[in-house]
Amino acid sequence: MTLPFEVVIDPLAADPPFEQVRRQVAGAVVTGALVPGDKLPPVRTLAAALGLAVNTVARAYKELEAAGVVATRGRAGTVVLGYGTEQAARAAAAAYVAQARHLGLTDAEVLEHVRRALG
């Protein structure tokens, strides 16, 4: 099983390999290269293809699962769920800003409403 995009690990990068895998898979979901229902390769398969330890890829998958981007379904494998919590939060924030601007609120007023809601 192969991914519909290339995962590239830069051994000289500041980010550890698991984060590089996590970021690239999450990015593929955002761009639409991976869509809900797509299956990711098994951890061992991707680790071998990238020359990484199995635990490195497993950590990336766990981080993606914690963010709601993928779900691991035992023998059925790991499947893409969607954008995950970060993307959902961005979408909600963008929708709020659009509605607030439609109401004629300034950026300062928008931020004040958010502070009150958090408070």
Please report, as a single letter, which amino acid is at residue 92: A
CA 36 to chain centre: 12
For 8, the 3-state DSSP assignment is coil
Per-residue pLDDT of the chain (119 residues), as tens digits, is 667 778 999 999 999 999 999 999 999 988 889 998 999 999 999 999 999 999 999 999 999 999 889 999 888 899 999 876 666 777 788 889 999 999 999 999 999 999 999 98
Instruction: Look at residue 1 in the predicted model and tell me its pLDDT.
Output: 66
Domain 17-82 has CATH 1.10.10.10: yes
Each domain of the chain, given as residue ranges in start order, spans 17-82, 86-118
The tokens describing 107, both together, are: 């950026």
> What is the rounded distance in angstroms from the CA atom of residue 5 to the CA atom of residue 31?
11
Q: Where are the beta strands (DSSP E) in the chain?
A: 39-40, 70-72, 78-80
Provide the pLDDT for residue 83: 74
* Separation between Cα atoms, residue 33 and residue 76, nearest integer Å: 21
